[in-house]
Structure 1
Amino acid sequence: MAGGAREVLTLQLGHFAGFVGAHWWNQQDAALREAADAKETPGELCPDVLYRAGRTLHGQETYTPRLILMDLKGSLNSLKQEGGLYRDKQLDAAIAWQGKLTTHKEEPHPTTNPYLQDLLSAEGAPSRDGIWRTRSVPNGKGPAPLTTATSPKPLMPTESSIRVWSDFLRVSLHPRSVCMIQKYNHDGEACRLEAFGQGERVLQEPGYLEELEDRLHFFVEECDYLQGFQVLCDLHDGFSGVGAKAAELLQDEYSGRGIIAWGLLPGPYALGEPRRNIFRLLNTAFGLARLSAHSSLVCPLSLGGSLGLRPEPPVRFPQLHYDVVTAGATIPFPLVPSQSLPDTLVQLGGATPWTPLSACGDPSGTHCFAQSVVLRGLDRACHTSQHAPGRPLPSPLHACSTGEEVLALYLQQQQPRARSSAHLLLAPCKVAPPYPRLFSRLRQQGLVPDAAPTGPAVDSIPVLGALCSSSSWNRTLGDLAQELSTLDLRRWASFLDAGVERDDFQELLQELHGLAQCYRAGDGLEA
């Protein structure tokens, strides 16, 4: 189904991972709509890597994420576990039995948020009530989009309307995507999945293990060129154990395939909750160590400033207004309309051009070993300098003939000993509803204005993103091990009772110290 694409299967484990994943899939969906509506598709992004094609009982083609997600009982709200995309309500209503019937009335299913239902209806999409509203997708998949005389302005989500991540998920999921852990509750204080050992035990139970394996086989066997897996996993609770066992399963069953794990942590935490904070510390440490043992690459993501117990200032962005306790954010690349890419990079000077999102503290003074950088959303005309011939150039960056050369030279100037890869994409990052309106001082395309912006709200932004391997991890992992070594485990016996032995804890400290040594500044790759 995917042609020559090198497919990736996504695993989404935990409720916070659900929030991050919902935003991420909504952005992929917005990019698909943009590509379907564009007269000329750049062709730089291949949606078949992340999506799969299918067909409903009525013969309608579908395009859904290649995704397996796991969450707890009571966490779905209006999203049905089996989905509504492949259901036939007429067949469901048909009753073959002619004998006596007994009616059992089920509690009403939660209704979809008004603003999300408004979006689905206005844009032409499969709604969760089982009614199919057609929408075109790239590469000719799906019929032509519906057109209407007017496009109503979509409603915006409010804080009170969001209870769970599915409250703003606009993407329809395949019936095999959602896997619920029924033995633990999402709400309430009883039966909570709060410790690493509990999470490990979930995938040691034959029922849950077989269910995950069955879903893996379903999605993997239809791939032609599977390149690997990406795992979005909560680190702060028991899903750190679920993620560790899932990564181990993937490594055992699909050796040779890449596994990239994103360890997700909510933002700044409250100091007045010692038990929750100690559990968060232990879960994070065990999760990082075990994921590192079974994954090709592990990258924690958090708006908090630290992985440990000592609070650090949270992550902030200059052009962004949001509550750092609850919101995620993307920094816009600070290009003003009158500037080119070389102009902006020169203005940044020697400072690191991105804000760290891995809770590793201040990156100044650290050594970068390797980095992969992507800049997307700048018009091609801005990639290079347009200085008149004969005029002296402000910098060597202004002499480059392509945007890729500009970015590569800038990275080489910043980190001359690091191995770097640079990529430029024309497609911007879409932030249309239901993405929250966090950008109040930017133009519609996300550029920094010379004066107060007027006109439509921001619907896309240029973004500079980077994955870096640096010596900051030496300090971060060392500090984490130091904090753990001062804990009196006798006070936290309930964490050990959940399935972790004292020997496991001592082994964890050794693993963290060993990982920290891998990131010493003197052990970098020579250019």
Structure 2
Amino acid sequence: MAAPCGEIVTVQLGPFSNCLGAHWWNLQDAEISRQSHKRQQESEICSDVTYRQGVTLRGRQTYTPRLIAVDLKGGLSSLREEGFLYEDRDTTCATPAWTGNLSTHREEPQETSPLQAELRREKDLHRDMYQLLNCIMGIVHLSNHSSLFCPLTLSSCLGRRPGPPVALPHLLYDAESQYHSSAVLALTLDTLSAPYRTAPSRLPMVQLADALSFSGRKVSVGGACYDGGLLTPIPAGKLLPRRRLPAVYGGPALDLSVWLWGATQRGGERKLLPVSGSEGSHPLPPGTRPPSVLHTCSSASDTLQCYLQTVAPGAVSLASTLPAPCTLPPTFPQFFSPYVTRSGFTAETPLSEPSAVDSIPALAALQTGRALGPTLQALHKEVRGVDVRRWPSFLTAGVEEGQLEETLEELQRLAHCYTPEGDSD
């Protein structure tokens, strides 16, 4: 890349994080392949932000992710202990230890006895409690040791009793499948991080973090839309609805009374133009007064900025638009409804012969507002009524009871920042 850009090191901790990371890196590879085929380098994603160039001991050029992956024992067993980056010059191909045919034996698993099934259910109850305690400790510690923290989940609640999964129009995903849920979150993360992965950077990461984390509000919320929404043509005489973006942080839909937006739109550069006579729009008859200010915008960036100001008057808006949509790799699940076309837009009627979706426009936003306050307060209330001594293994793991009390106090102070009383502090 000719233009300078920053460098980002990605850290993946745990099985689900690595599952999400697999989709994330496949999305990056698909973007690199699209740019190399179409030779569109200007105002596009700069892969040098997340990848690094190098040379092996054999002189082979490499382009590898800046990645630190940590998993449970056996979780990364499919990977080699040493990659080809560190191969010795004199390394030769290993000689097989035996020759001949390979025989495969299949054996049915033993049925679980009623006692073992009951013990497994009891263990699952303990696991939910441990996940809740780890959740609040993670929120507090990550907010204290980072410039900005945004939890991502497709569950409508972060407590022990998760609510129904987030409903995303025209995305028929299975919330119980990590393959599906991690793909949705990876697509959201890819859209949210696009502004500071361009060359030159349209919105540096430091600037975005400083803008969203004012007055000690280190935790932000995220929302995403993949069904067209803003990205479809606006018919003449029709207003754009003041709908909320589906949330992906474990709480209600993004509140319209916010302090600051950080929105990113990918794709739909031509489809978003509602001005009369523009490509992809429905022209207004001569002498007709535009039904809304959105119909007077001349570019996708102006339309997105105007929309954010319309749905959240008085909020500071940081809008970014990229002309190219999100390129989907072959490994991405095809969980789209029959209304979704190959380019990712929605049709008025179901397609007679649905084809594989290879790209999709996306709209994602980070938000700092009061929507997070009730979510943090609900977590504090749920853990406050729990006697941790009933789960001794949590304390024997190294967590002291006084440390948990301090975490709850910090969580309460953090929730106070997102209340009306916190505005005056």
By the TM > 0.5 criterion, same fold? yes
What residue number does 1:501 align with? 400
Query: 1:446 matched to which residue of 2?
Result: 344
Q: CA deviation at 1:2?
A: 8.9
Letter in 1 for 2:8: V
Which of 358, 370, 391 lines up with 1:471 in the alignment? 370
Q: Distance in 2 between matches of 1:284 and 1:307?
A: 8
- In the aligned structure 2, how far is the partner of 1:314 from the partner of 1:498? 31
Q: 3-state DSSP class of the match of 1:436?
A: coil
- Contact 2:261 2:308 survives alignment (8 Å): no
Q: RMSD of the alignment, in Å?
A: 3.0
For residues 373-388 of structure 1, the aligned pairs below 5 Å read 373-380=263-270, 382-385=272-275, 386=277, 387-388=283-284
1:27/1:94 CA distance change after superposition, 3 Å: closer
How much does 1:351 deviate?
A: 1.6
Tell me the SS of whatever aligns to 1:45: coil
Match of 2:147 in 1: 296
Amino acid at match of 1:499: G
1:255-288 deviation digits (Å, cap 9, x = unpaired): xxxxxxxxxxxxxxx9982200110000001111
Determine what percentage of the aligned residue pairs are the same residue.
38
Q: How far, CA to CA, are the matches of 2:298 and 2:53 in structure 1?
A: 40
Structure 1's unaligned 5+ residue stretches are 96-102, 106-269
Kindly indicate whether residue 245 of structure 2 is the aligned counterpart of residue 394 of structure 1.
no
* Structure 1 residues 404 and 363: CA distance shift in structure 2, 3 A: closer
State the Cα distance separating 1:320 from its structure 2 match.
1.2
Whether 1:357 and 2:208 are equivalent positions in the alignment is: no
Alpha-carbon shift at residue 350 of structure 1 (Å): 1.6
Cα distance in 2 for partners of 1:336, 1:2 equals 33
1:301 match: secondary structure: coil
Give the conservation status (yes or no) of the 8 Å contact 2:246–2:253: no
Deviation digits for residues 29-67 of structure 1, max 9, x if unmatched?
Answer: 100000000044343321111111112344332211111
**Which residue of structure 2 lines up, in the alignment, with residue 367 of structure 1?**
257
Displacement after TM superposition at 1:81 (Å): 3.1
2:388 match? 489
Alignment of structure 1 residues 48-447 onto 2, 5 Å: 48-84=48-84, 87=87, 91-93=91-93, 273-326=124-177, 327-328=180-181, 329=184, 331-334=225-228, 339-340=232-233, 342-343=234-235, 348-352=240-244, 354-363=245-254, 367-380=257-270, 382-385=272-275, 386=277, 387-388=283-284, 389-441=286-338, 442-447=340-345
Amino acid at match of 2:226: P
Cα 1:491–1:335 shift into 2, 3 Å:
closer
| Deviation digits for residues 95-153 of structure 1 (CA, Å, limit 9, x no counterpart) | 9xxxxxxx999xxxxxxxxxxxxxxxxxxxxxxxxxxxxxxxxxxxxxxxxxxxxxxxx
Secondary structure at 2:54's aligned position in 1?
A: strand
Q: Distance in 2 between matches of 1:345 and 1:378?
A: 21
Contact 1:12–1:70 (Cα < 8 Å) also in 2: yes
Compared CA separation, residues 397 and 271, structure 1 to 2 (3 A): farther
The TM-score with structure 1 as length reference comes to 0.61
State whether residues 237 and 290 of structure 2, in contact with CA within 8 Å, keep that contact through their aligned partners in structure 1: no
Distance 1:289 1:473, change over 3 A: same
Contact 1:372 1:467 in 2 (8 A): yes
Measure, in 2, the Cα distance between the counterparts of 1:512 and 1:336. 36
Partner-residue secondary structure (3-state), 2:317 = strand
Task: Tell me the alpha carbon deviations over residues 137-196 of structure 1, each in whole angstroms, 9 at most, x when there is no partner.
Answer: xxxxxxxxxxxxxxxxxxxxxxxxxxxxxxxxxxxxxxxxxxxxxxxxxxxxxxxxxxxx
- Assess, with a 3 A threshold, how the Cα gap between structure 1 residues 448 and 492 changes in structure 2: closer, same or farther: same
Instruction: Give the distance between the partners of 2:22 and 2:236, measured in 1 at CA.
Output: 32
CA distance in 2, matches of 1:336, 1:469: 21
Q: Which runs of 5+ in 2 are unaligned?
A: 99-120, 188-224, 278-282
Instruction: Determine if contact 1:336/1:449 at 8 Å carries over to the other structure.
Output: no
Per-residue deviation at 1:450?
2.3
Q: Give the TM-score taking structure 2 as reference length.
A: 0.75
- Asked if the contact 1:367–1:521 (Cα under 8 Å) also holds between the matched residues in 2, the reply is no
State the Cα distance separating 1:79 from its structure 2 match. 1.9
Q: What secondary structure sits across from 2:149 in the alignment?
A: strand
Structure number with greater CO (CA < 8 Å, separation at least 6) is: 2
Query: Hey, what's the Cα distance between the residues in 2 that align with 1:490 and 1:361?
Result: 32
Query: 1:345, 1:514 → 2: CA distance?
Result: 47
2-side partners of 1:346 and 1:471: how far apart? 30
Task: Provide the aligned length of Structure 1 versus Structure 2.
Answer: 351
- Name the counterpart of 1:165: none
Distance 2:94 2:78 in 1: 24
**2:54–2:61 Cα contact (<8 Å) kept:** yes
Which residue identity lines up with residue 486 of structure 1 in the other structure?
Answer: G
C-alpha distance in structure 2 between counterparts of 1:271 and 1:355, whole Å: 33
Aligned mates of 1:94, 1:86 — CA distance in 2: 16
- In structure 2, distance between residues paired with 1:294 and 1:57: 38
Letter in 2 for 1:351: R
- Give CA-to-partner distance per residue, 1:375-425, whole Å, 9 cap, x none: 101143543423255332121100112211111111111111221111111
- Write the distance in 2 (CA, Å) between the matches of 1:467 and 1:287: 19
CA contact (8 A) 1:432 1:458 kept: no
